[in-house]
Amino acid sequence: MNRISVKQIALRSVLSKRAVYQPAAGHGVKRSNLTRLLHLLLLVSVLHQLIGSEFSSRPLPGEAPSLLFRLHEYIGVGSLGIVLAFWLWAVARHGETRLAELFPWASPRRTREIFSDIICQSHELTGAELFDRVSQILASTIHGLGLLVVTAMAATGTVYFLASGIVAHEALAMHRLISNLMWAYLIGHAAIALLHHLLGSDILRRMFWIKRGRTVRAKQSEPAAR
């Protein structure tokens, strides 16, 4: 039996009295270094844009833009380049999540798999094997939704940067709306990924070169000796 920390004991007591800890087994699709790099660049750029927007304001007509606002614009345009590179790599790469798995809604079969997996995951929430299985179907779909949101945010920001008049005004309105969606997605996605990692999943290790953790599994009670 492996030694467990106080934090692990607390997690075990919450999940199940029969839960034990063991090294997490690798599962899911292995990410290439290029996928990891693009994912990291997207994460850093999105964090910069969301947090930076809270400290910079759009200049009034005739007013010179601040350094923070200019930096927000330039990094935003650069973010669109990162997003486009991610799209191209998603099409060209092999042995990883395919584009059809990121956007499965065109396939009735894949759509049924998503809803079936949601039901399965909800059942696991009440059992001893909470988060024991990371759903590749559901995870890929969520990643696809996030890619759409970040693409729309970068695209509307770039249109505002390049255009003027009513086009720029409408692009800015859409950009602000999509930014709120991006906040919600980022917080929810990060919270679930961190919870999976704390409970032993290798989801962060596969994406960010993080050391493999430990997983929680329910130990079946052994039959009493006769």
In 3D space, the residue among 150, 151, 140 whose CA is nearest the CA of residue 203 turns out to be 140
Tell me the two tokens of residue 104: 């499965």
Where do the structural domains in the chain lie, given as residue ranges? 31-57+65-93+119-212
Burial class (CB within 10 angstroms; exposed 0-12, middle 13-18, buried 19+) of 13: exposed
Here the contacts of 205-208 (C-beta below 8 Å, separation 24 or greater) are 206/26, 206/28, 206/29, 206/30, 206/31, 207/31, 207/36, 207/39, 208/36, 208/40
pLDDT score recorded for residue 155: 96
More confident: 15 or 54: 54
pLDDT score recorded for residue 196: 65
Residues 19-75 have pLDDT tens digits of: 443 444 444 566 788 988 998 999 999 999 999 988 888 888 888 888 999 999 999
> Looking at the DSSP assignment, which residues form a beta bridge with residue 23?
214
Q: Provide the 8-state DSSP code for 219.
A: P
Residues 126-172 have pLDDT tens digits of: 554 444 444 577 778 888 999 999 999 999 999 999 999 999 999 99
How many residues are recorded in the chain? 226
- Predicted TM-score (pTM) of the model is 0.69
Residues 174-192 have pLDDT tens digits of: 999 999 999 999 998 888 7
